Structures are given as structure tokens and as C-alpha cells.
């Protein structure tokens, strides 16, 4: 089973998602963040599940179509570790 490590940037992203959603609906914010965290746990079992993108990174789409988030991550085969790099709304442009 792969290890799952959240980079600080991804932790900030998930905090920002929570804060944004909590302004209108704190219950939804809590539920959405829990569902994102739960969905990313699958990467421990299937680290190459997401679609490949630039520079060896991968993207996993999380959540329902109308409210999906994109988790950008990197899988290091040598150490069998998944690094969560970024979480963003599907409506946001990639950071780079």
C-alpha cells in the first residue's frame, strides 16, 4: 500500500475550499472536505489511477460532476509514495 503525503500547498487549498463553502453552508463545507479526503484515500491502493498530465504529475477528479474538484499529485514509484500537490475546483485554472 502506498503512503499518502499532503504538501503544505494542498493543505492550504483544502482549507481555502472549506472556508469558501462554509461562508454559505458550514455543513456542506465539512461534508465536501471529508468526501475529498476519503476519495483521495483510494490512491493508497491505486496510485496511478488519475490521468497523467505534465511533468510526471497526475490528476484525479473527485466529487459529483456539478461540484467536482481536481487533485493534482505525483507518484514516486521508488518510495511507493503519493504526494498530494494541489486541490482545486474544476472551475479554476491550473496554477501552472
Q: What is the pLDDT of residues 40-83, one digit of tens each?
A: 999 999 999 999 999 999 999 998 777 799 999 999 999 999 99
Write down the pTM of the prediction. Answer: 0.88
pLDDT band at residue 95 under the 50/70/90 scheme: low
- H or E, element range at 14: helix 8-22
Round the average pLDDT of the chain to a whole number and report it. Answer: 92
All three cell numbers of 60: 484525479
All three cell numbers of 43: 490512491
- H or E, element range at 27: helix 26-40
What DSSP designation does 1 have? -
pLDDT value at 92 more than 70: no
Give the position of cell 481536481: 70
Rounded CA Rg of the chain: 13
Amino acid at each position: 500500500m502506498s503512503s499518502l503525503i499532503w504538501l503544505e500547498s494542498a493543505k492550504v487549498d483544502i482549507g481555502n475550499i472549506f472556508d469558501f463553502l462554509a461562508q454559505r453552508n458550514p455543513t456542506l463545507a465539512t461534508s465536501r472536505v471529508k468526501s475529498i479526503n476519503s476519495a483521495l484515500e483510494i490512491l493508497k491502493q491505486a496510485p496511478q489511477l488519475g490521468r497523467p498530465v505534465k511533468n510526471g504529475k497526475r490528476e484525479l477528479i473527485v466529487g459529483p460532476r456539478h461540484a467536482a474538484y481536481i487533485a493534482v499529485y505525483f507518484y514516486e514509484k521508488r518510495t511507493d509514495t503519493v504526494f498530494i500537490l494541489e486541490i482545486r475546483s474544476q472551475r479554476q485554472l491550473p496554477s501552472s
